Amino acid sequence: MTSVADDLEKKIVAALADLREAVSRFAPVTFASSMGAEDMVLTDLIYRNNLDIEIFSIDTGRLPQQTYALMAAADKHYGKPAKIYVPQAVSVEGFIQTYGINGFFDSIDARKACCHARKVEPLRRALTGKRAWVTGLRSTQSSTREAVSASAFDENNGLQKINPLAQWSEVEVWQYLRANDVPYNALHDQGFPSIGCAPCTRAVQPGEDIRAGRWWWENPETKECGLHMVDGRLQRIKTGTT
Ligand code: SF4
């Protein structure tokens, strides 16, 4: 019978194999870190193993202070500043002009317009010139993410998408972070399992879906920011296609 530690070790080995294969087959590769718990696992794996994968984050301009604190702490911990993309001023100004400074609360269309200006457009720039991107998506994160798996071509963005933690559990993510003394967002200790922009994220109650605190005023099916969507649905990814 294998132990919990053995299972985690096997998943670490598999995740590293996915990352190394991505580098060998799809360079240049970039990793989109939203500074969540899963993203910190991947950041640690990439830096600790000196993998040739750029790490970037998107500063939407509405992130919680704790996320900025983690960005600074991670830069210091690894001695390597991550690349930060910011939205185009004209796009944010256009959103505010049309919908108001907090207009994303008023309708799904307005919320998606805000996410597009502050997240999707910077992501597209970050992916330009890359042949693959890595994400920290896990298949058990929510009802919108059940289809997530290891790797597939991302038709929406025109490059390979690698999800090395697709089969990791939340428990395994935290086992890794604690065993390796990896910095993480202080909000995780205050009931925030999933963290996005400050106005669109709140704490969840014990037993709630871990993404229940994201855009909590919407139906579960609509709760993605557009980074992982195709035609309004979460991108369906098949295994074994790398
Ligand atoms: S999460 Fe909220 S504040 Fe952030 S980009 Fe989306 S709608 Fe705008």
165 has a pLDDT exceeding 90: yes
Overall domain count for the chain: 1
Residue 1's pLDDT is 56
Is residue 103 included in any domain, yes or no?
A: no
Residue 142's pLDDT is 55
Q: Whose CA is nearest to atom 3 of ligand 1?
A: 197
Nearest ligand 1 atom to the CA of 114 is: 8
Q: Ligand 1 centre and the CA of 5: distance in Å?
A: 37
In the chain, DSSP assigns E strands to 29-32, 53-58, 83-85, 132-134, 151-154, 159-162, 229-230, 233-234
Q: Is the CB of 114 under 6 A from ligand 1?
A: yes
Measured in degrees and rounded to the nearest 5, phi and psi for residue 206 equal: -55, 135
Residue 119's pLDDT is 97
Identity of residue 233 = R
Is residue 105 included in any domain, yes or no?
A: no
Is residue 183 included in any domain, yes or no?
A: yes
Is residue 137 included in any domain, yes or no?
A: yes
Is residue 242 included in any domain, yes or no?
A: no
Is residue 198 included in any domain, yes or no?
A: yes
> 240 pLDDT band (50/70/90 cuts)?
very low
* Residue of 85, 194, 197 with the most ligand 1 atoms within 8 Å of its CB, for mutation: 197
Whether 114 is a known active-site residue: answer: no
Is residue 76 included in any domain, yes or no?
A: yes
pLDDT digits (tens, 9 = 90+) for 112-128: 999 999 999 999 999 99
Is residue 216 included in any domain, yes or no?
A: yes
* CATH number for the domain harbouring residue 137: 3.40.50.620
Identity of residue 18 = D
Domain of residue 219 covers: 4-87+127-234
Q: Tell me, what DSSP letter sits at residue 81?
A: P
Q: Is the CB of 197 under 6 A from ligand 1?
A: yes
* Residue of 115, 120, 211, 228 with the most ligand 1 atoms within 8 Å of its CB, for mutation: 115
> 210 pLDDT band (50/70/90 cuts)?
confident
Nearest to 44 by CA among 182, 153, 217, 231: 182
On whether the pTM is more than 0.85, the answer is yes
